[in-house]
């Protein structure tokens, strides 16, 4: 679990808030890991990971994160 999730959850005793923070943190971590594995690493290997591709990777990771979260988050 990302360190930021633990730090945020340490600030509240609200179980629902902690669950949502964990869900969001996990969704972000999973999306970034998948994006690196499927997209970024190939571009870096090809030497074509420029600013435009970085923005595209970010947008894809944000989209994947949002799609993977529950409606509560």
pLDDT digits (tens, 9 = 90+) for 7-48: 999 999 999 999 999 999 999 999 999 998 889 999 999 999
d(CA 73, CA 68): 10
Instruction: Please report the pLDDT score of residue 33 as a whole number.
Output: 93
Confidence band for 1, pLDDT divided at 50, 70 and 90: low
Instruction: Please report the pLDDT score of residue 38 as a whole number.
Output: 85
Q: With left for phi above 0 and alpha for psi between -120 and 50, is residue 47 left, alpha or beta? A: left
Q: Quick check: 52 pLDDT over 60?
A: yes
Among the listed residues 26, 42, 36, the one whose alpha carbon sits nearest the alpha carbon of residue 61: 36
To which H or E segment does residue 55 belong?
Answer: helix 51-68
Question: Where do the structural domains in the chain lie, given as residue ranges?
Answer: 3-68
């Amino acid at each position: 679990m990302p360190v930021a999730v633990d730090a945020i959850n340490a600030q509240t005793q609200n179980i629902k808030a902690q669950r949502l923070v964990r869900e969001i943190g996990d969704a972000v971590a999973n999306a970034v890991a998948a994006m690196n594995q499927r997209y970024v690493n190939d571009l870096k290997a090809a030497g074509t990971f420029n600013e435009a591709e970085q923005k595209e990777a970010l947008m894809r990771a944000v989209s994947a994160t949002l799609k993977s979260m529950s409606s509560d988050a």
